[in-house]
């Protein structure tokens, strides 16, 4: 009689402990499961590139970019802006067109022969993308970035781009010594990267503002009017529209007529 | 009198003496003459052939646009040179032919004409005056006031009518084309009825309705938007695109710049966060001022280099413009999440006109 309660007490103690442990375990697992279900994916930039490439990019960055953009992409006052959030599209555009690394501070960093090789450009892009995040390059390359409908691209170009780059991509002046460059010889990837990242004073065009298809149509249009594709008359005379054409027709035409008149008169 | 004699008499009456009047080909039928004749004929024939080629090319040459990477682009791109070249050669050849003919076959005479002294002699002057006065007197016009007055009336009115004809075409009523009598003050952004939603629609080059949400634009972006009301047809849209007063620049400032914004009195709630909407029409002479520089936050007008500061209610900071760009009050529609305008511009957009107060 006396042992029975004791025994039962011992059993219940063990059972309580086991049950307590089990409850704790279940509770912990439940919390863990709930946590993983409820807590959203972290919004921080994630390194998804090849780590070897990122390391390679870090090396190049520390050799060529660090003095103006800082050790942690944070920028250096009065020298260069922060690169956090600019993304690989921006790095791709700036370095593959030779604008970066820059030689000197000026109203606008000019285009020049590229300093970094394509592999180095990819590596630095990967490094900046891995550490700062931002807009990424499209998957397609080259002619795959030309859309189906250059006519619609032309409409979009005139609405969004022509005010600075001229109707046929001849470029034009901006304020205080800056300029919108001519679009001759600009690669498809560079155009796409420029639209995405808004280099220097160019506005940015996100994928929601101009969809990838619209961007590709714009590229198709630009390609159809640049690189000598738009001079059915033999010479585009600057491609600036009626002003230059009228001026040259007037000057050359009047001079020729004067010459002929003088020639006719001189013969007699 | 024979023709030769008549020619001579005419010259003599005019006081002209032909010193030299050689026949260009005194010996007929030489090889040089034949060659000159063939040369002229060649130019005229060439002109005819080139003109014919022009007509053929103008009608049958492929003039329709062919993209550079498609077949037939070369033929298309030759269209302009071909019609220019053929027509040019046709005109030039006619000219050269005529020149050649004149040089080779028209005699190059040397004529001497006596120079007259200026002014008529006194007797002529006196007699002609007397003649005119006598004619006027004999017509009895000075004694017939009724005829004089009616002639003055008829002639005067006719003169006025002839002046009104060219002047009238210069007079235009600037309000005649607008939808309401305040057409210069209001734009299509004006709400026509209470609670109307006027959305900001972007142009995509298609009839697809593309409205703008705040998340569509990155910081440092600009979009050109036009007014859109629910139920607008493609025809209404075309009308909006064609209207000079509808385009608006929707600008999303970069956050660091947005913190430095200075707002104009009375326009404090016209923006939506970092989004500011300004008319695209320059306040100088109405050019589209859409060269937005996202880092300097300047809006540049390409016509006369006026610059407006997007951080300071688009006030002019350089160039000939003296008024700020009108700002459109915008908000986000709570139901749909799209941008809407909460009203029209509070001031006229674009350049000055006579009735403009500001």
Beta carbon pairs, A and B, within 8 Å: 97
Q: Which residues of A touch B103 (CB under 8 A)?
A: 267
Q: Nearest-CA neighbor of A163 among A171, A155, A175?
A: A171
pLDDT in tens, B267-285: 999 999 999 999 999 999 9
Intra-chain end-to-end CA distance of chain A, in Å = 154
Structure tokens at B37: 């004749």
The alpha carbon of residue A60 is apart from the nearest alpha carbon of chain B, in Å, by 27
Residue contact B221–A152, C-beta within 8 A: no
For B108, the closest chain A residue by CA position comes to A268
The pLDDT tens digits for A88-117 are 999 999 999 999 888 888 888 888 898 899
Taking chain B (358 residues) in consecutive chunks of 10 residues, what is each chunk's mean pLDDT? Answer: 88 87 88 94 97 96 82 88 95 95 90 83 93 92 91 96 89 68 80 88 88 93 93 89 91 93 93 94 92 93 93 94 94 93 91 81
Measured between CB atoms, does B216 come within 8 Å of chain A? yes
> Is the pLDDT score of A163 beyond 70?
yes
Separation in Å, CA of B300 to nearest CA in chain A? 7
Q: What is the DSSP letter of B226?
A: E
Mean pLDDT, rounded, for A26-47: 69
- State the angle between helix axes of B79-105 and B31-60 in degrees (0 to 180), rounded to the nearest 10: 160
Q: How far, CA to CA in Å, does B231 sit from each of A89, B199, B202? A: 39, 11, 16
- The closest of A136, A121, A124 to A66, measured between CA atoms, is A124
Residues of A in contact with B67 (CB under 8 A): 150, 224
- Percent of chain A at pLDDT exceeding 70: 91
Tell me if residue B101 falls in helix, strand or coil.
Answer: helix
Please tell me whether the interface predicted TM-score (ipTM) of this complex is above 0.90: no
- Nearest-angstrom CA–CA distance, A165 and A210: 17
As a whole number of angstroms, the distance between CA B273 and CA B271 comes to 6
- Which of A135, A163, A214 is the closest to B290 by Cβ? A163
Classify burial at A196, counting beta carbons within 10 Å of its beta carbon; exposed 0-12, middle 13-18, buried 19 or more: buried
DSSP for B119-130?
Answer: S--HHHHHHHHH
Contact B84 A233 (CB under 8 A): yes
Q: Is B25 helix (H, G, I), strand (E, B) or coil?
A: coil
> How far is residue B290's CA from residue A203's CA, in Å, rounded to a whole number?
11
HSE-up (13 A, CA, CB side) for residue A67 = 8
Of A178, A224, A267, the CB nearest to B67: A224
Say if A49 is an interface residue toward chain B (CB within 8 Å): no
Binned at pLDDT 50, 70 and 90, residue A39 comes out as low
Q: Which domains does chain A have, with CATH numbers?
A: 51-132 (1.10.760.10), 142-232 (1.10.760.10)
Contact A205 B292 (CB under 8 A): no
Residue B12 CA to residue B215 CA, distance in Å, equals 95
pLDDT tens-digit map of B68-90: 777 888 898 889 999 999 999 99
């Amino acid at each position: 009689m006396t042992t029975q309660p004791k025994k039962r007490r011992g059993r219940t103690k063990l059972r309580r402990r086991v049950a307590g442990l089990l409850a704790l375990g279940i509770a912990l697992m439940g919390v863990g499961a709930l946590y993983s279900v409820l807590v959203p994916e972290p919004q921080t930039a994630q390194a998804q590139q090849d780590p070897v490439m990122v390391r390679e990019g870090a090396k190049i960055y520390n050799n060529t970019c660090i003095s103006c953009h800082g050790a942690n992409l944070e920028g250096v006052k009065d020298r260069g802006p922060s690169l956090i959030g600019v993304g690989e599209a921006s790095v791709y555009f700036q370095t593959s067109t030779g604008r970066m690394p820059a030689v000197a501070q000026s109203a606008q960093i000019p285009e020049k022969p590229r300093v970094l090789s394509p592999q180095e450009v990819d590596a630095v892009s990967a490094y900046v993308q891995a550490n700062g995040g931002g807009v990424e390059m499209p998957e397609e390359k080259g002619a795959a970035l030309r859309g189906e409908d250059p006519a619609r691209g032309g409409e979009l170009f005139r609405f969004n781009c022509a005010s600075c780059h001229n109707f046929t991509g001849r470029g034009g002046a901006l304020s205080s010594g800056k300029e919108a460059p001519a679009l001759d010889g600009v690669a498809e990837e560079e155009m796409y990267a420029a639209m995405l990242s808004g280099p220097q004073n160019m506005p940015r065009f996100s994928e929601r503002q101009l969809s990838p298809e619209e961007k590709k149509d714009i590229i198709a249009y630009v390609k159809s009017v640049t690189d000598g594709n738009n001079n059915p008359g033999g010479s585009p005379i600057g491609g600036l529209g009626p002003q230059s054409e009228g001026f040259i027709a007037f000057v050359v035409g009047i001079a020729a007529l004067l010459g002929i008149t003088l020639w006719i008169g001189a013969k007699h | 009198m024979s023709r030769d004699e008549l020619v001579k008499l005419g010259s003599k009456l005019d006081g002209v003496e032909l010193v030299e009047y050689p026949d260009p080909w005194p010996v007929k039928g030489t090889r040089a003459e034949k060659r000159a004749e063939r040369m002229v004929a060649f130019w005229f024939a060439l002109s005819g052939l080139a003109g014919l080629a022009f007509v053929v090319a103008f009608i049958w040459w492929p003039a329709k646009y062919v993209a550079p990477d498609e077949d037939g682009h070369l033929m298309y791109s030759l269209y302009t040179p071909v019609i220019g070249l053929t027509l040019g050669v046709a005109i030039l050849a006619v000219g050269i032919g005529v020149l050649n003919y004149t040089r080779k076959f028209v005699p190059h005479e040397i004529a001497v004409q006596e120079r007259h002294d200026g002014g008529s002699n006194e007797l002529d002057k006196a007699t002609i005056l007397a003649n005119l006065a006598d004619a006027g007197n004999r017509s009895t016009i000075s004694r017939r006031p009724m005829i004089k007055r009616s002639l003055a009336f008829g002639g005067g009115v006719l003169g006025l009518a002839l002046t009104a004809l060219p002047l009238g075409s210069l007079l235009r009523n600037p309000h005649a084309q607008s939808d309401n009598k305040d057409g210069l003050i209001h734009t299509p952004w004006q709400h026509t009825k209470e609670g109307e939603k006027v959305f900001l629609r972007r142009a995509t080059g298609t009839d697809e309705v593309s409205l703008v949400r705040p998340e569509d634009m990155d910081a440092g972006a600009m979009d050109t938007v036009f007014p859109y009301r629910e139920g607008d047809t493609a025809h209404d849209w075309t009308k909006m695109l064609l209207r000079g007063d509808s385009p608006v620049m929707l600008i999303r400032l970069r956050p660091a710049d947005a913190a430095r914004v200075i707002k104009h009195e009375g326009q404090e709630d016209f923006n939506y966060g970092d989004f500011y909407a300004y008319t695209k029409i320059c306040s100088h002479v109405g050019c589209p001022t859409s060269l937005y520089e996202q880092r300097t936050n300047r809006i540049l007008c390409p016509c006369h280099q006026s610059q407006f500061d997007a951080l300071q209610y688009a006030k002019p900071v350089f160039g000939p413009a003296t008024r700020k760009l009108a700002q459109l009050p915008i908000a986000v529609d709570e139901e749909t999440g799209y941008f809407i305008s909460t009203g029209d511009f509070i001031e006229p957009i674009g350049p000055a006109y006579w009735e403009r107060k500001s």
